[in-house]
Amino acid sequence: MRWIPLALALAASPAIAETAIAARTIPARTILSQADLAASPDEVPGGASLETALGLEARVTIFQGRPILRANLVPPALVERNQTVRLLYRRGGLTIVADGRALDRAAAGDSIRVLASGTRTTVTGRVMGDGSIQVSTSE
């Protein structure tokens, strides 16, 4: 299988359907950059394009020369397990901020369980773009 460097692929005609290929062995949890990717002129079913793959995280190890499949890519995690996070409780005009410890690994928009430091209770919330956790409240 023939593959070409990313810089040359981006300069090529956009009419060609190309699949991203691993330019090196990419360990799981690596955020993909231009150095990790090459292009194959072949279209692989389920394969990610170069533009799609950039900035996403490898869910599994992807070996050099292998196509990068969309199913093996996820948004990059903002919160790691056991990381100290900021919890935001909002109701009406009231906002309460507290610290907690993440019990899972999650990306922006994911639901996550957090151990609230002050009360030692487990709460569930949604990861915000800045890494804080918006805690779910029952109305």
Report H helices in the chain.
6-11, 50-53
Q: CA-CA distance, 14 to 36, in Å (whole number)? A: 20
- Domain spans, the chain: 4-74, 77-135
- Alpha-carbon distance of 59 to 136, in angstroms, equals 27
Using alpha carbons, list the distances in angstroms from residue 80 to 5, 44, 94, 127.
Answer: 32, 32, 28, 11
Q: Mean pLDDT by 10-residue block, N- to C-terminus, for the chain (139 residues)?
A: 54 62 95 94 90 94 95 95 94 92 95 93 94 80
pLDDT of residue 118: 86
Q: 132 and 86 in contact (C-beta within 8 Å)? A: yes
Contact call for residues 69 and 46 (beta carbons, < 8 A): yes
CATH number for the domain running over 4-74? 3.90.1210.10
- pLDDT of amino acid 98: 94
CATH architecture type of domain 77-135:
Roll (2.30)
pLDDT at 92: 86
Whether pTM > 0.95 for this model: the answer is: no
State residue 41's pLDDT score: 86
Give the pLDDT score at 5.
Answer: 59
pLDDT at 136: 76
**How high is the pLDDT of residue 103?**
96
